[in-house]
Amino acid sequence: MEANNQINPSSTEANAQLKQELVEEAVHRQNVEEYNKQAALIEKKQLKYQKLSFLMSMLSAIFTGGMLIVVVGFVMFAVPKINTIYDSTMVSLKNLEQLTAELNEADLGGTVENINNLTIQATGDLSASMERLNSVDLETLNEAIDNLNATVEPLARFFGK
């Protein structure tokens, strides 16, 4: 074989080159296998994160739907009560405005002055009545009553009463 190798030096070079290509191909295959393993690991991680992202999206949708139901329920419960309170407030406000208008139309100053004048007049009339009562002579009145009683008593006995 050595003689063959000496005769054909290019075949040894070709063999060496072939061996080197085989080694390079083996290294290349090993690199490709490592790359494929890394790609598979990355793909698994990405799938895991996609599942987690999907789960979080579902939870977010569920919580958002729940909050929407709570808000709609609150609005359905609160709006009629708020409308009732608003209507009552408006009625009270209209009544207050009407009362204020009536008070503005009423002449309170004139009414107070009339009451004051009536009180003064009543006090004057009462004073005059008291003076008349004081001027009555009670002794003379008692004597007149006794005289009337003395006159009427015999008449009453005559008629039998």
Task: Give the separation between CA 7 and CA 12, rounded to whole angstroms.
Answer: 10
Range of the domain at 119: 109-161
Q: How far apart are CA 35 and CA 40, in angstroms?
A: 8
pLDDT for the residue 17: 87
Q: Is the pLDDT of residue 149 over 90?
A: no
Cβ 5 vs Cβ 11: under 8 Å: yes
In a domain, 147, yes or no: yes
Give the mean pLDDT of 16-21. 88
Please name the residue that has the structure tokens 């290019």. 10
Q: How confident is the model at residue 11 (pLDDT cuts 50, 70, 90)?
A: confident
pLDDT value for 115: 86
% pLDDT > 90, the chain: 42
The answer to whether residue 40 sits within a structural domain is no
- Summarised one tens digit per residue, pLDDT across range 79-130 is 899 999 999 999 999 999 998 888 877 777 777 888 888 899 989 888 888 8
Residue 49 and residue 42 in contact, taking contact as beta carbons nearer than 8 Å: no
pLDDT-derived band at 72 (thresholds 50, 70, 90) equals very high
pTM reported for the whole predicted model: 0.40
Per-residue burial over 120-137, b if 16 or more Cβ lie within 10 Å, else e, is eeeeeeeeeeeeeeeeee
Looking at the structure of the chain, the number of domains it has is: 1
How does 61-89 read in b/e, with b if 16+ C-beta sit within 10 Å? eeeeeeeeeeeeeeeeeeeeeeeeeeeee
**Has residue 82 been placed in a domain?**
no
Q: Answer whether residue 4 is part of any domain.
A: no
Give the pLDDT mean for 28-37. 93
| Domain-embedded: residue 156 | yes
For residue 44, is it within any domain?
A: no
Q: Does residue 31 belong to any structural domain of this protein?
A: no
> The tokens 């080197």 sit on which residue?
20
117 lies in some domain: yes
Please tell me the predicted confidence (pLDDT) of residue 73.
92
Give the position of tokens 């407030």.
89
